[in-house]
Structure 1
Amino acid sequence: MDGKKIKKLDSALVHASGKIRVLKALEWPLDSEKIFLDNWRRGNLRLPEVTLQRQDLTSSITSLEAIVACCDKNQAVEKFLADTAQSYADCAHMLSHIGTPEFTRYSTKIYGRPDTVYKLQGQSPVDGAIFFLNVTDKLIGNADFPPAISDISATAFAGWLKAEVDEFFEKDCVEVVLDPNLASKALAGATRIRLRGSALFSSQDNQLLYHEAFIHTATLLNGKKQSNLRSLGLGAPRTTRTQEGLAVMAEILTNAIDITRLRRIALRVIAVKKALDGADFVEIFKFFLDAGQPPEESVRSAQRIFRGGDVRGGVVFTKDSVYLEGLLEVHTFMRVAIRDNRPGLIRNLFAGRLTMGDALRLDPFFRTGWLQQPLYVPVWASDMTKLAAAISFAVYLSNIKLEKVYLERAIEFEDEVHI
């Protein structure tokens, strides 16, 4: 391994990627939600009029593609640098084509499509989303599942979140700030977690702590502490699927996810597919509304899919399709790592912004100490014996064929035992 070459390429990558800020470039104007909902309430439902400026990132693209060309992809660290530089170049191309079909072409190259079928499994993320919706459909409206009451102000929620964050990140300072322009409820960086200032929160929003802080912020901070590979501290677009998979899995293993959140993730996958197939903004808004989401949440969900795209349909931002796909991939990766007695691969995922492939290819460098072990690891993943037990039990449960089981079987089984 050529250490001087890697250091030079790594430094160049950190510099060349600096101007590429995807979500910032795709933010809708703050008043667009209000205008759309005001028109809807007056019975004048129409497509929003939003124009985002295309980015001129020619110099960044040139620098990033030069890095790719210099890397030896047969060497694991250089392959990581090449793949990361290429993903930033793809994002730069995407932002250069906002509002055009090329935008979606690059988006699907980076984040994938929700209808891509897994070669070894014979199913797509859309199939998974439909499964979760079918399972939970009968539970919606059940009195045993009362809706969460959002009555906590953003200021109060930020105070609680800050206390939890300070306790976890004991060697770093992470701010929690309110941002009135934020499309999502929360967005995490390495040193700052932003909350939508106009939002009301519920007790069930504690999932933001496990998702945003203990995964997204933690992996960024861990990556920035990698002295030999600083680019592990970049929020590289190619790592999004693994990152969101880890984050949703964190919600599940900490019992922080609820049925509404699970359905929202599944609904977004299907909505991305519908929008790719030509559904416009109004149709997607109605889709979320008909699925039981409040009007405010429905318009925000539709905005997420059409940011950077075309509200008439067909040109969309496909990032929301990775959450469910990432969850299934990360859970499977962890299962196989436990099965093959390689639990260290799981820990690698927290050492920076990596894909699952990176965790595997770079494992020799973690074992030699050239790459540092992560400083911040969430509780659910810090004890491999407990995580192994939880995953092993999940593997066992997957063998039970529920289509052959019915509730009355519990009574029949008792009768059989006592004969």
Structure 2
Amino acid sequence: MNAPASTVMPGLERYAALDQRLLAAVRGIRILPTVAWPASLENRMIDAYSRGRFSLPEVTYARPELGAVRAELAAIEAAAGGSDPLDIDPLGDYLRRTAESWRIAAEMLESVGSASVTAPSIALYGRPDDMIPGSQRSNLDAAHYFVALSDELGADLLADDSIVNMPADALRADLSATLDDFFGAGTISVEVDPELTAKAAAGATRIRLRGGDCFSDYDRHQLLAHEAFVHSLTALNGRRQPLLASLARTSPRVTATQEGLAVFAELMSGAIDITRLKRISLRILAIDMALNGADFVEVYKYFSLCGQSTADSFHSAQRVFRGVPPGGGAAFAKDNVYLSGLLTVHTFFRWALRQRRMDLLRHLFAGKLTLHDVIALQPHFESGAILPPRWLPPWMQHVHGLAGKLAFSVFINGIQLSQVQGEDWLAGV
């Protein structure tokens, strides 16, 4: 999809040039591929674990040399403006923050295979014990809550496994037809990748499915809501931006908002259930375990005890130990963002509704933006320098329905369940 025939507005050329310079600098930074494990290693170890033969994985990583990249990113930060956003245009602040996050990511990747990955990954993705905005509770508290609630409701993770009956090739054909209808024929390709670590991954024009896996109908709905109608959609909208081409690429600093928005999309479109919330919550508890000294086998056994299959338990533990030693005390913190991002995005949607600012919610899909960016860059949305989104997810196209759900959520949040007793219903309340 080509960008529209728009030109950069007069006076903003400096920011467009810095943005292009930024994109050129980060072209060689590939975070997840650098910390990924070979599929062949995973397959061997899953087979061994299924037979009760446990050992710590031995993973070899190729450390990239990114010294020149870091220097260039630091120069871009300086050229974009100072650290006080009040002293610079929001465009300069956006570029400074984005360059800084890529520089931290480069430092992280240069330490791949060592415990030194932990600190920069936490700087980028947060810690399990970080506080949730507007709350006195932490991300870890939320994770404990959703795991306990799932267990109380009997949401057994194994229940979903019994209905997983759609081969990757069949899902590929199904998704391709749906996406052609929505975005236009050939805009997004769907491929099966036998080397993919995650069950699925999405870029602007390609969605990959892990080869050899089977999927459920619920997986299909989740992939559409999460991968296609958020990750791919925001990338495609970002590609249309004449001023900030970087809005088409997920920088490290936007990961929490992007993943939170994607899980929120699952919630709004009915493509999430308590089991899914339990899965992403367990990963946060596992990161906390690893940071506190648990090794790979201990984390694997934790997932297994929580009801996951051998393969799922291995893949879940593997996500926690990507790029770090498996002996405990270190972790790759990216999975921290799914629940914290969901809670923060949900709060943002409720706040925007209260402020009667549905425009902010639409602008969130104009590219790869943080919640901060959507507000700070409003003058440039209003001027037309940053374009509104070409595509919106299906659930965002029905504004009245969305407003109804959020309005109900805003009001019902004021009812304190701790004040409600079972006897109230017997009394006719």
Normalised by the shorter chain, which TM-score bucket?
over 0.9
Cα drift, residue 120 of structure 1: 4.5
- From 163, 181, 184, the equivalent of 1:167 is 181
Aligned 8 A contact 1:235 1:353 in 2: yes
1:198 alignment counterpart? 212
Distance 1:392 1:119 in 2: 20
- What amino acid sits opposite 2:94 in the alignment? F
Contact 2:200/2:207 (CA < 8 Å) preserved in 1?
Answer: yes
Match of 1:55 in 2: 64
Give the deviation of 1:235 after TM superposition.
1.2
Checking the alignment, whether the CA contact within 8 Å between 1:98 and 1:308 is kept in structure 2 is: yes
**By how many angstroms is 1:72 displaced?**
2.0
Structure 2 matches for 1:233-272, cutoff 5 A? 233-272=248-287
| 1:119 to partner: Cα distance | 6.7
The reply on whether 1:111 has 2:111 as its aligned counterpart is: no
Deviation at 1:410, TM superposition (A): 3.4
Over 3 Å counting, the alpha-carbon distance change for 1:30 and 1:361 in structure 2 is same
CA-CA distance at 1:288 after TM superposition: 0.4
TM-score by length of 2: 0.92
Do the aligned partners of residues 63 and 146 (structure 1) sit closer, same or farther apart at CA in structure 2, a change above 3 Å counting? closer
* Change in CA separation of 1:232 and 1:171 when aligned onto 2, cut-off 3 Å: farther
Q: Which segment is superposed worse, 370-379 or 38-47?
A: 38-47
Among residues 221, 239, 245, which one is paired with 2:236 in the alignment?
221
Change (3 A) 1:407 1:152: farther
SS in structure 1 opposite 2:195? Answer: coil
Q: 1:144-159 residue pairs with structure 2 within 5 A?
A: 149-159=163-173
Aligned to 1:137: 151
Partner of 1:282: 297
**Which among 297, 305, 314 is matched to residue 329 of structure 2?**
314
Q: 1:121 aligned to 2:112?
A: no
Which stretch shifts more, 398-407 or 249-258?
Answer: 398-407
User: Structure 1 residues 408, 150: CA separation in 2 closer, same or farther (over 3 Å shift)?
Assistant: farther
- Runs of at least 5 residues in structure 2 that lack an aligned partner in the other structure: 1-9, 83-87
Inter-CA distance 141–396: structure 2 relative to 1 (3 Å threshold): closer
**SS of aligned partner of 1:28:** coil
What is the match of residue 43 of structure 1? Answer: 52
1:21 equivalent in alignment to 2:30:
yes
Distance 1:209 1:114 in 2: 28
**Using the alignment, how far apart are the partners of 1:106 and 1:382 within structure 2?**
38
The DSSP-based 3-state class of the residue aligned with 2:17 is helix
Query: In the alignment, is residue 343 of structure 1 matched against residue 352 of structure 2?
Result: no
Q: Counterpart of 1:69? A: 78
Note the C-alpha offset of 1:10. 1.0
Q: 1:197 to 1:370 in 2, by over 3 A?
A: same
Residues 398, 47 of structure 1: CA spacing in aligned structure 2 closer, same or farther, 3 A cutoff? same
20 and 146 in structure 1: CA distance in 2 versus 1, 3 angstrom threshold: closer
1:351 counterpart SS class: coil
Match status 1:300 vs 2:315: yes
Root-mean-square deviation over aligned CA pairs: 1.8
Question: Relative to structure 2, which stretch is displaced further, 11-20 or 98-107?
Answer: 98-107
Structure 1 residues 104 and 191: alpha-carbon distance in aligned structure 2, compared to 1, 3 A threshold: same
Deviation at 1:118, TM superposition (A): 4.0
State how far apart, in whole Å, the 2-side matches of 1:92 and 1:332 are: 31
| Separation in structure 2 between the aligned mates of residue 357 and residue 29 of structure 1, nearest angstrom | 36
1:116 corresponds to which letter in structure 2?
A: D
Shift of 1:39: 2.5
> What is the distance in 2 between the residues matched to 1:379 and 1:217?
14
**How many correspondences in the alignment?**
413
Q: For the structure 1 residues 221 and 171, does the alpha-carbon distance in structure 2 shift closer, same or farther, using more than 3 Å as the test?
A: farther
CA–CA distance in structure 2, aligned partners of residues 14 and 288 of structure 1 = 38
Q: CA deviation at 1:167?
A: 1.4
Please say if residues 50 and 310 of structure 2, whose CA atoms lie closer than 8 Å, have aligned partners that are also in contact.
no
Gaps of 5+ in 1: 415-419
Secondary structure of the residue that 1:177 maps to in structure 2?
strand
Identity of aligned residues (%): 42
1:385 equivalent to 2:400? Answer yes
Query: Which deviations, in whole Å up to 9, do the C-alpha atoms of 1:69-106 show, x marking residues without a partner?
Result: 10124210011111111111111111000122321111
SS at match of 2:78: helix
Corresponding residue of 1:291: 306
Distance 1:213 1:43 in 2: 38
SS state at 1:330 partner: helix
Q: Distance in 1 between matches of 2:109 and 2:13?
A: 32
Q: For residues 321-362 of structure 1, what are the alpha-carbon distances to aligned partners after superposition, in whole Å with 9 as ceiling and x for unaligned?
A: 100000010011111111112111111110000000000000
Residue 132 of structure 2 contacts residue 343 of structure 2 at CA under 8 Å; is this kept in 1? no
Tell me: CA distance 1:141–1:171, structure 2 relative to 1, closer, same or farther (3 Å).
closer
Q: Does 1:183 align with 2:192?
A: no
Q: Which shows bigger deviation, 181-190 or 145-154?
A: 145-154
CA-to-partner distance for each residue in 1:185-215, whole Å, 9 max, x for gaps? 1100011001001111011102011000000
- C-alpha distance 78-99 of structure 1, shift in aligned 2 (>3 A): same
Match of 2:409 in 1: 394
Q: Which residue, out of 103, 106, 124, partners 1:92? A: 106
Residues in 2 aligned to 1:326 and 1:106: alpha-carbon distance in whole angstroms: 18
